[in-house]
Amino acid sequence: MEQKLRIHHAANLAKEPGVSHGFFTREGGVSTGVYASLNCGPGSRDDAAAVAENRARAIAALDPKARLVTLAQIHSGTVHTVDADWDFGMRREGDGLVTAQPGVALGILTADCTPVLFADAQARVIGAAHAGWKGAAGGVLEATIAAMEKLGAKAARLVAAIGPTISQTNYEVGQDLRDRFGGDDARFFAPADRPGHFRFDLPGYVAQRLKKAGVVAVSDLALCTYPPENGLFSYRRTTHRGEADYGRELSAIMLRN
């Protein structure tokens, strides 16, 4: 029996007039094997036709007339503004997207990193960011907010939602990563069972950076990607299992016409 799409929604974004969004799981697609089933990542080694069908299904659930934009994500602070001249056939490198164009779905692909969706319904401006530890530390969240403000949004008016991401319980890191974070950021690291290892609270760190950037309305789905029962792709789980590759779930937001 074919699975139906399962989509999570953030309560704060769901209240924003003229905005549609969804944090998609891995359910409801056509991919098989380690990619089963709604793998939306063209950067995986999955069959390209299957990925295209999965992306089409996801966007049809959001809005059948929407046009999806995703990036070749590189864990950077690079943010692109999707304007009326955007080339939808080109897959640019970067980790943030903003737009004031209705009917354009801004998509983020993840498999443990943190997807963040933004909206300023009053200004009719939306944004999306891919925030792994490197991108978050490198300023991708602040750069996304700044790009939205150039389109007329205001940080204090923004509503932001943190989607499915790996939780502190399942994110063990080494001393090398811990040493990159100083000062107040030390509180996001808890000692792990192994000496010289820590558990990093990535969504907590992301939420703190959003609030420091002036975003008051921040919500967190508190949905960890690692446990298989949550129905999400996870790079870390794949690595622990020794699997050859992994799929990516889609998080997307758009302005309705």
Whether residue 2 is predicted with pLDDT greater than 80 in this model: the reply is no
| DSSP assignment letter at 42 | T
- Asked if residue 239 has pLDDT above 80, the reply is yes
Average pLDDT over residues 125-137: 98
CA distances from 31 to 7, 44, 53, 69, 134 (A): 17, 11, 9, 21, 29
Name the phi and psi angles at 57, rounded to 5: -65, -45
Nearest to 28 by CA among 17, 36, 20, 16: 36
pLDDT in tens, 61-116: 999 999 999 999 999 999 999 999 999 999 999 999 999 999 999 999 999 999 99
Distance of CA 143 to the CA centre of its chain: 15
**Residue of 103, 111, 104 whose CA lies nearest to 80:** 104
Mind listing the pLDDT tens digit for each residue in 37-76?
999 999 999 999 999 999 999 999 999 999 999 999 999 9
- First CA to last CA across the chain, in angstroms? 35
Count of beta carbons in the 10 Å neighbourhood of residue 234: 26
Residue-level pLDDT at 3: 78
Tell whether the model's pLDDT for residue 211 goes beyond 80: yes
* Domain boundaries along the sequence of the chain: 11-23+67-242+250-255
- Classify domain 11-23+67-242+250-255 at the CATH class level: alpha beta
The whole-model pTM stands at 0.98
pLDDT tens-place string over residues 24-38 = 999 999 999 999 999
The secondary structure of 82-146 as a DSSP string is E-TT--TT---B-SEEEE--TTEEEEEEESSSEEEEEEETTTTEEEEEEE-HHHHHTTHHHHHHH
What is the CB-side half-sphere exposure of residue 50 using CA atoms within 13 A?
Answer: 19
Look at residue 1 and tell me whether its pLDDT is greater than 60: no
